[in-house]
Amino acid sequence: MREKLLYLLLLLIALLVASCGKKGEPTLRTFEKPPAVRDIKAVHREDQLIISWSYPAPEREAIKGFYIEKAEAGGNKPFKNLVFLKNDVSQFVDRDFKTGWKYLYKMRVYSLRNVLSDESMVIQVNPAELPSPPAGLAYKITEDSTEIRWDRVSDAARYNIYRSSVKGKYPVSPLNKVPLKETLFKDRVETEKISYYTARALLDTTLEDEGYPSDELEVNPETFVPSRPSHIKYVPSEKKTYLMWDESPETWVKGYRVYKKSGSDSGFRLIGEAATPAFTDSGPLVSKTLYCITAVGPKKESAPSETLEVYPLKN
């Protein structure tokens, strides 16, 4: 009897030790059939069919991964296991296809206990011949935007625009929220660093069928030149001259520079800068004096304004 009690006591201790440190729900859950993938879609870009899906993060912890199955549409051809992907993956790139052919894809989830889920929905894809890359990319800096233009590829083509601050490396998602019908895109003006742009043509299909990128377009803020200031006015006093002019229409202008020529000056000299379209010259006005103003962009100045002539007050 004593040996039996001792055995039961040791067994209880072993069970307690084995259960120590375990977290989460009971392990019986791992024997259940995992939820099926409910959201699966495909996109055709260049030489890739990109199959993507979503799966709840809490459920991923209880699975090994995903099986992707593929078949050629028509003729009752069987599905074949294409690839097994780990539980943290949400995208697969298939390069083994031909344009003009139809393919079927579906998925199953594989649990930690080797239990397969129900099949996902079956998606049919029909990759089309890709449109040509857009040509003639050019830009124009306006008062408040960067206008990107390009040549039309075809009446059926739509367009995506991509921007990067690193030459040759672009994000997956375009700047535009929906494909563009027109060959024009207006972006914000970047004044601190070079921006690179590329355009892709795509078709208005379920797969989008997005083609190869255009040549890269560089937009360098060091080349931006503001328009010249206009309508300069002044108010003289005995000791100061107050200058005013119209604010530059460009939202990216950083300020203004004021130049002066008087007396024996051989040419205009810089006497100060202003953040707003106004400046006070504290130098005494003793003879005819000339002023001109420039607007300052990220790096370059505008052409000078018309010359303003100022005369001393008469006694």
Listed range (14-18, 148-152, 161-165, 286-290) with the worst mean pLDDT = 14-18
Nearest to 243 by CA among 297, 314, 287, 306: 306
**Is 272 found in the same domain as 208?**
no
pLDDT at residue 312, rounded to an integer: 86
**Is 212 found in the same domain as 181?**
yes
Looking up residue 105, the CATH number of its domain turns out to be 2.60.40.10
Rounded to the nearest 5°, which phi and psi values hold at 297?
-90, -165
Bridge partners (DSSP) of residue 168 are none
**Is 238 found in the same domain as 165?**
no
**Is 117 found in the same domain as 71?**
yes
- Residue 14 inside a domain? The answer is no
CA–CA distance, 96 with 207 (Å, rounded to integer): 16
- Residue 148 inside a domain? The answer is yes
**Other CB atoms within 10 Å distance of the CB of residue 3:** 7
- Residue 8 inside a domain? The answer is no
Distance of CA 44 to the CA centre of its chain: 20
The residue among 221, 254, 269 that closes a domain is: 221
**Other CB atoms within 10 Å distance of the CB of residue 241:** 21
- Residue 170 inside a domain? The answer is yes
pLDDT at residue 315, rounded to an integer: 61
The residue among 125, 157, 182 that closes a domain is: 125
Nearest to 214 by CA among 185, 237, 236, 255: 185
**Is 243 found in the same domain as 167?**
no
- Residue 27 inside a domain? The answer is no
Considering the chain, what percentage of its residues have pLDDT values greater than 70?
Answer: 90
- Residue 17 inside a domain? The answer is no
pLDDT at residue 23, rounded to an integer: 46
Total domains, the chain: 3
E strand intervals along the chain: 39-45, 48-54, 63-72, 80-86, 91-94, 103-111, 123-125, 138-141, 146-149, 157-164, 184-187, 195-203, 217-219, 233-236, 241-244, 255-262, 269-274, 278-281, 289-296, 308-310
- Residue 208 inside a domain? The answer is yes
| Predicted confidence (pLDDT) at residue 55 exceeds the cutoff of 50 | yes
**Is 299 found in the same domain as 261?**
yes
**Is 149 found in the same domain as 113?**
no
What is the residue-averaged pLDDT of the chain? Answer: 91
- Residue 2 inside a domain? The answer is no
Task: Supply the range of the domain harboring residue 106.
Answer: 32-125
The residue among 169, 197, 221 that closes a domain is: 221
**Exposure of 170 by Cβ count < 10 A (0-12 exposed, 13-18 middle, 19+ buried)?**
middle
CA–CA distance, 313 with 315 (Å, rounded to integer): 6
Could you report the per-residue pLDDT of 12-47, keeping only the tens digit for each?
554 454 455 444 454 566 678 999 999 999 999 999
**Is 120 found in the same domain as 162?**
no
Q: Which tokens is 205 given?
A: 């299909």
